Structure 1
Amino acid sequence: MKNEMTFRPATPADWPGIEELLVAARLPLEGAADHLQNFVVGEVGGHLLCTGGFEQYAVTALLRSVAVDASLRGTGVGQQLLQNLRLQAKERGVVELYLLTTTAAAFFSKRGFSEIARADTPSALQASREFQGVCPASATAMVAKL
């Protein structure tokens, strides 16, 4: 795509497009809409092509729902999206960003995230829907300092 990707905070009107991206990426929908105020979308020509968000718990946050349209994977869009999410989280006082992944540990480890034991994540995050069964127990837990 020749047009420039524009990143912006998600709005409630973006939810159908976000849902479509999450379903296509086989990511869980449960609880995502509850944290829409912490989502970012990337678009070209008004078409949503990537999304991601976080659940904030005081100074920690759980990165979730990071999805890039299949046609743009491997083009650097995911890295741009992650940079936007990190900036938004930092602006909101987050100092540690955690995540659970079943498929993207290599992507995140190349971008400053380190694997940790799931039990070593903050208890507030462990009470989230992601930890309470939405993500399987086999998911890799990771953390990055902001």
Structure 2
Amino acid sequence: MLTDVRLRAASQTDYQQISELLECCGLPTEDVSDIIDSFQIALADGRVIGCAAAEGHGEAILIRSVAVELTFRDRGIASQLVEALLMQARGTEVREAYLLSTTAPAYFARWGFSLFPADQVPAKIKMSAAFQRAAQASALCMRCELT
């Protein structure tokens, strides 16, 4: 049975479900509460089945915490979440997006992300706890211009 999925901005009331989803997907949860307003979530039957965040740092964002519940994967939900974040950023002063990925660099290339030297990332992004965690895990750094 195909379930209707809808996207919306996250709120503090979604914190627990987002944290549980990230944990199930092996992603960190330490600072989720601090950036909850940066998340887009996918809902099915009233529960969070997908999430992604765009952590803002001036003219740049860090795409992070992209996760979809296993039983809802391969339905384009992560793509919708990332697209929503990038569209939202394009309507602001944000000019570039960064991310770190250990498993899916080809996936993010569809939005124009390409490999980028981590040592050339703006300082505000580099200082992000999420960036530092991913860099320690030897994740590949990617960048996309949003102009």
Distance in 1 (CA, whole Å) between partners of 2:140 and 2:79 is 19
Match of 1:63 in 2: 63
Match of 1:74 in 2: 74
1:131 is displaced (CA, Å) by 2.7
Q: Does 1:45 align with 2:45?
A: yes
Match of 2:119 in 1: 119
Distance in 1 (CA, whole Å) between partners of 2:67 and 2:47 is 14
Match of 1:128 in 2: 128
Where 1:23 maps in the other structure, the secondary structure is helix
Match of 1:13 in 2: 13
1:109 is displaced (CA, Å) by 1.9
TM norm structure 2? 0.91
1:137 is displaced (CA, Å) by 4.7
**Counterpart code for 1:75:** R
Match of 1:23 in 2: 23
TM norm structure 1? 0.92
CA contact (8 A) 2:15 2:32 kept: no
Distance in 2 (CA, whole Å) between partners of 1:39 and 1:93 is 18
Identity value in percent: 34
CA contact (8 A) 1:30 1:129 kept: no
Alpha carbons of structure 1 residues 92 and 31: separation in structure 2 relative to 1, 3 Å: farther
Match of 2:90 in 1: 90
CA contact (8 A) 1:96 1:144 kept: yes
1:116 is displaced (CA, Å) by 0.7
Where 2:67 maps in the other structure, the secondary structure is strand
Q: Which blocks of at least 5 consecutive residues in structure 1 are unaligned?
A: none
Computed over aligned residues only, the root mean square deviation of the Cα atoms, in angstroms, reads: 1.4
1:58 is displaced (CA, Å) by 0.8
